[in-house]
Amino acid sequence: MKFSKMFYVVISIILVTIFMLIIYIFPSYNISDRSIGKPIKIYFADNISSAHRKLIGLFNEKYKGQIEVVPIDLPFSKFSTNDRKELLARYFRSKSDRIDVFSVDQIWVPRFARWAIPLEEYFSKPEKDSLLSYALKTCYYNDTLVAVPLYIDVALMYYRKDIIDKLSDAKAIENELSNSITWQQLINLNKKIKNNPLYVFQADDYEGLICSYIEILANMGGKFMEDDSLLFKSPKAIEALQYLDDLFKKDKISPQEVLRFKEDDSYKYFFQDNSVFVRGWTGLFKNNAVGKKYFNLKDDVEAVPTPHLEGSKPASVFGGWDLMISRFSTKIPAAVKFVKFLTSKEAQKILFEGGGFIPTNNELFDDSAYVQKHPNLKFYSKLLKNGIYRPFSEHYTKVSDILSYYINLSLKSDITPRDALYRAYDKLNSKNILLK
């Protein structure tokens, strides 16, 4: 255990060092550059997909000689979301002006608001109204607009049609799946399908595990956090974790391997071991390296809503990434132009068609001809209506880190669900820091 903790500490230090080297090899912008005809350089930190690169190229061509966007690539294949969060936080504490625009997981907005400029004065009401309300809601902190949504995401489930189609009641099952199957129905399927792992989800001690817990808790009408108050000891919080625990240990709908799975691990297992279901996010075959590798199975894979508890309505956790402008930037007007470009209808089309990212510009959803051409937008609209938010709190990421650690322990049978929640509560109310 001590070796494992030290390993992660060393890896974290290495990643931070690499990140700082990436940042500091770029020459800083000199205010005199514009006076001698050089373009203003905007440094943009994100997971730079091929769709992002296309947009950056189009923007640079449009503002040739005036503004040039320089990408700082933080690929998901090398940096987990937690890695990116810590790298950016440590970077901004240095108060450097070498990053101008950066993307954040929507749940980070409260934490990063201190390092971002308020955007109210730069975005008119019509411009804000053009953005998807589900996504725009994540961009406020203390009633102030501090970010704008680049793309939104929502949890879903993928299943193997070729496996389900072999069952005698395949059509009935697929109909249930399309409207969100209940957990009990999923348990019943486990008795029918013997030769394939049934349900794969992300149960490592990180944010993905929290998302599964939140959905079940929402089905029960509960929360584990409200504002900055922890509700871990509430009956519903305990009941929801007990239910998740039972699904895994008593009903055995998932293989033991999921205890160490994050997204890419779960996708690999889904494809390689012919699992029937996997919990995931949109754009599997467009913006995920594992999905692209197994693109030949695309026609056998269907996306459907996540499962729900009988008697409740489906609930899928919102995801997505927002754009912020550093308060240390010396090029704010140019940065604003770039951010507005990324949220434009044409830019959002490129992100959606080229990368599978759900658009945040309402014009695409309101364009009937475009929706007819891209019917999966209807499916996404259905999912978004059942979307649920994670807590908006500056302290949420710390809460999530600790809670996921103890939920993972519970699933491993090291402690009971009740003890897991009580220990997480005590840890967060102590002065101790959990080292993972």
Reduced to 3 states, what is the DSSP secondary structure of residue 260?
helix
> Does residue 67 contact residue 337 with C-beta atoms inside 8 Å?
yes
Element (H, E) at 349: helix 345-355
pLDDT for res 83: 85
> Does residue 99 contact residue 23 with C-beta atoms inside 8 Å?
yes
Radius of gyration of the chain (CA): 22
Element (H, E) at 102: strand 101-105
Q: Which two tokens stand for residue 122?
A: 């730069």
pTM of the model: 0.89
Over its length of 436 residues, how does the chain's per-residue pLDDT go in tens digits?
A: 444 445 444 555 555 555 555 554 444 444 445 555 789 999 999 999 999 999 999 999 999 999 999 999 998 878 878 888 889 999 999 999 999 999 999 999 999 999 999 999 999 999 999 999 999 999 999 999 999 999 999 999 999 999 999 999 999 999 999 999 999 999 999 989 989 999 999 999 999 999 999 999 999 999 999 988 999 999 999 999 999 999 999 999 999 999 999 999 999 999 999 999 999 999 999 989 999 999 999 999 999 999 999 999 999 999 999 999 999 999 999 999 999 999 999 999 999 999 999 999 999 999 999 999 999 999 999 999 999 999 999 999 999 999 999 999 999 998 999 999 999 999 998 855 443 4
Domain spans, the chain? 2-152+319-382, 154-316+394-428
Question: Among residues 283, 308, 264, which one has the least CA distance to residue 379?
Answer: 283
Q: Which two tokens stand for residue 394?
A: 């500056």
CATH superfamily, region 2-152+319-382: Periplasmic binding protein-like II (3.40.190.10)
Pairing of strands 40-46, 67-73: parallel
Q: Which two tokens stand for residue 209?
A: 């595990």
pLDDT for res 26: 47
> Does residue 328 contact residue 92 with C-beta atoms inside 8 Å?
yes
pLDDT for res 23: 52
Alpha helices (runs of H) in 179-304, residue ranges in sequence order: 183-192, 207-219, 235-249, 263-272, 284-287, 289-293
User: So what CATH class is 154-316+394-428?
Assistant: alpha beta
Reduced to 3 states, what is the DSSP secondary structure of residue 150?
strand
The owner of tokens 């590798």 is 293
Distance in angstroms (rounded) separating the CA atoms of residues 218 and 239? 12
Reduced to 3 states, what is the DSSP secondary structure of residue 238?
helix
Residue type, 400: S
Distances (CA, A) of 30 to 20, 43, 119, 270, 360: 20, 13, 24, 50, 34
> Does residue 15 contact residue 83 with C-beta atoms inside 8 Å?
yes
> Does residue 70 contact residue 26 with C-beta atoms inside 8 Å?
yes
Distance in angstroms (rounded) separating the CA atoms of residues 185 and 278? 16
pLDDT for res 17: 56
